[in-house]
Amino acid sequence: MTTQVNSSGKANSVLGASTLAFTICFTIWMMFGVIGIPIKKTLGLNETQFGLLTAMPVLTGSLIRVPLGIWTDRFGGRIVLFLLMISTVIPIFLISYATAYWHFLVLGLFVGLAGGSFSVGTPYVARWFKKDRQGLAMGIFGAGNSGAAVNKFIAPAIIASAGWVMVPKVYAVLMLAAALIFWVFSSTDPSHNVKSSVSFTAQLKMLKDPKVWRYCQYYSVVFGGYVGLSLWMVKYYVTEYNFDMKDAALLAACFSLPGGVLRAFGGWLSDKYGAYKVTWWVMWVCWIAFFMLSYPQTEFTIKTVTGPQAFHIALTPLVFTSLLFVVGIAMAVGKASVFKFISDEYTHNIGAVSGVVGLAGGLGGFVLPIMFGAMVDLTGVRSSCFMLLYGTVCVSLVWMHFQFRREMMQSAQLALATN
């Protein structure tokens, strides 16, 4: 009994320390979504250049996820996450002294390493819990995505009082403190590691499984879309509705906060109802919401028997924010349900698989802000970002329908053959 209590206490301590560490990492990973606005004004950047600036940390945070997941399987999550966090402190601090556009891009690549923390923490946390609680545990850890909202609360306040150059300095101190706290309250269990006799090649054999690529597509929508919108929404509110940065960040947090915190709720739902049902409904909710958000502000005049009649159609800030809030909840649940698929089907290789799927989601978060900016530059329509997301959800729904229908038919045929 005492051993079980101690084991449970360690698991909870690991979960709490890892969630705190991931929240700080995600806060800093999303930093350019806020400080990029005054930097854009100072450097005279266009929309595409701004999108690239905000996306650079997402690129390295995505590309490093596969090796980080594999190293976690082999060496353990505690040492890997601690070293990862420490390695970003100096690059974060140096952003305060950047003056040229390329300075920000290069430093952003190094700061982006913090985004790889997800692929370390997910397998590290999951292995401390039994299978029927892994969905909830990974959901609680994944709630660290709420760091995107934390950034929207902290950064504007710092900018208002001391200017944007103070934000990286404060964030560097936060990262160092979080790394030390994580090391003190986390633990190591060598039995969780993959045996050293297992090669990297053997760990990556799962890439031949088409299911992995399917989960990559789903995650690129729910996580990539979340990251892309988190980076883009503060500026969207400023340019579309003429809010100041502080109010814009607060409204944008109405999307980022539930999109992170409610991931634990998504893990619970996935444990209870299954990953497929939850993911299916998530996609439908996003499909409807993105369709409504895609409609641009429109003015038109029609001829009537009494003369010209003018009409104006637009989403008010209240309606727009309400729809974003719904999307945030759906994406939070979807992020957890996709990883429930992984924990159910790849128990002994969670690190490597979560690294691949996390890479796909992260690359979605890298590409989307750049595409958002390019589409605005090309079309002049700010809501074009939601048109793009609407298309990605359509692809996911079609793929889910035909793929799961085929698998159900194969299972039925196999059952009949067995009988």
Total tally of structural domains belonging to the chain = 1
Identify whether 31 is part of a domain: yes
Helices 117-126 and 65-75 sit at what angle, rounded to 10 degrees? 30
DSSP string, 178-214: HHHHHHHH----GGGSPPTTS-HHHHGGGGG-HHHHH
Question: Mind listing the pLDDT tens digit for each residue in 260-304?
Answer: 778 778 888 888 888 888 988 999 999 999 999 998 888 888 888
The half-sphere exposure of 164 on its side-chain side, counting CA atoms within 13 A, is 19
The tokens describing 134, both together, are: 């892994």
Find residue 309's DSSP bridge partners: 302
Position 194 in a domain: no
Structure-token match 């140096």, residue found: 94
Supply the range of the domain harboring residue 397. Answer: 2-189+205-418
Q: Is 372 exposed, middle or buried (0-12, 13-18, 19+ CB in 10 A)?
A: buried
Q: Pick the residue with more confidence: 6 or 370?
A: 370
Residue 195 lies in a domain: no
77-95 residue pLDDT tens: 899 999 999 999 999 999 9
Q: What is the pTM of this model?
A: 0.78
Give me the residue label for tokens 């996450």: 81
Using alpha carbons, select from 149, 138, 147 the residue that is nearest to residue 264.
Answer: 138
Is the residue at 236 inside a domain?
yes
> pLDDT tens digit string along 365-394?
889 999 999 999 999 898 999 999 999 899
CA dist 31 and 34 (Å) reads 6
**Residue 168 falls within a domain, yes or no?**
yes
Average per-residue pLDDT in the chain?
85
- For residue 386, give the CATH number of its domain: 1.20.1250.20
Q: What are the angstrom distances between the C-alpha of 382 and each of 1, 53, 259?
A: 59, 18, 22
The answer to whether 40 and 50 are in contact (CB under 8 A) is yes
Is 200 a member of any domain? no
Is there a domain that residue 396 lies in?
A: yes
Quick check: is 8 in a domain? Answer: yes
8 Å CB contact between 158 and 35: no
pLDDT of residue 171: 96
